[in-house]
A and B are shown apart, each in its own frame.
Chain A
Amino acid sequence: MSDDIYREIILDHYRNPRNKGKLVESDVSIHDSNPLCGDEIDIHLKVDGNNIKDIKFEGRGCAISQASASMLTEMIMGKPLTSVKDLTKEDILENIGLLNLGPARIKCALLSLKVLKLGMVKYYADRDPDSAKKLQSDSTGM
Chain B
Amino acid sequence: MMQKGALNVQKIREDFPILKRKLSGDKPLVYLDNAATTQKPLAVINAIHDYYMNYNSNIHRAVHQLAEEATLEFEKTREKVAKFINAKKTEEIIFTRNATEAINLVAYSWGRANVKKDDRIVITEIEHHSNIVPWQILTSEKRAKLEYVGTDDNGYLKLQEYTNYLESSKKVKLVSVSHMSNVLGTIVPVNDIIKMSHEKGIPVVIDGAQSVPHMHVDVQKMDCDFMAFSAHKMLGPTGVGILYVKEEILEKMPPFIGGGDMIKEVHKYETRYNDLPYKFEGGTPNIADVIGFAAAIDYLNDIGMDKVRDHEVELTGYALDKITGVKGVTVYGPHNTKDRGGVISFNIGDIHPHDLATIMNDHGVAIRSGHHCAQVLMERLDVAATSRASFYIYNTKEEVDVFINALEEARRLFKI
Which residues in B have their C-beta under 8 angstroms from that of A3?
Answer: 413
Find out whether the CB atom of B355 lies under 8 angstroms from the CB atom of A6: yes
Closest residue of A by beta carbon distance from B25:
A1
Cα(A14)–Cα(B410), bound, Å: 15
With a CB–CB cut-off of 8 A, which chain A residues contact B409?
2
Q: When each residue 345-364 of chain B gets 1 if its CB lies under 8 Å from chain A and 0 otherwise, what string results?
A: 00000111111001100100
Determine if A93 is an interface residue (Cβ-Cβ < 8 Å): no
A110: CB under 8 A from chain B? no
Q: How far is the CA of A123 from the CA of B355 in the complex (A)?
A: 33
- The chain A residues found within 8 Å of chain B, CB to CB, are 1-3, 5-6, 11, 14-15, 36-39, 60-64, 105, 108
Give A119 to B351 CA distance when docked, in angstroms: 29
B residues less than 8 Å from A105 (CB atoms)? 354, 358
Q: CA A6 – CA B412 in complex, angstroms?
A: 11
CB-nearest residue of chain A relative to B353? A62
User: Interface on B for A, CB 8 Å cutoff?
Assistant: 24, 350-355, 358-359, 362, 369-371, 384-385, 409-410, 413-415
CA distance A62 to B359 in the complex (A): 12
- Residues in B with CB closer than 8 Å to A6 are 355, 359, 413-414
Partner of A2 from the list B359, B371, B384, B415 (CB cut-off 8 Å) is B359
A1 proximity list for chain B (CB < 8 A): 24, 362
- Which of B24, B385, B415 contacts A37 (CB under 8 A)? B385
| Contact, CB under 8 Å: B415 / A61 | no
Using A36-B370, A38-B385 as known contacts, say yes or no to A11 and B362 having CB atoms under 8 A apart.
no
> B406 to chain A: closest CB distance in Å?
10
For the A-B complex with A5-B358, A6-B413, A37-B369 known, give 15 more contacts whose Cβ atoms are closer than 8 Å. A2-B359, A2-B413, A15-B350, A37-B354, A37-B370, A37-B385, A38-B384, A39-B354, A60-B384, A61-B352, A62-B352, A62-B353, A62-B355, A63-B351, A63-B355
Chain A to chain B contacts (Cβ below 8 Å), 30 pairs: A1-B362, A2-B358, A2-B359, A2-B362, A2-B409, A2-B413, A3-B413, A5-B358, A6-B355, A6-B359, A6-B413, A6-B414, A11-B414, A15-B350, A37-B370, A37-B385, A38-B370, A38-B384, A39-B354, A60-B384, A61-B352, A61-B354, A61-B384, A62-B352, A62-B353, A62-B355, A63-B351, A63-B352, A64-B354, A64-B355
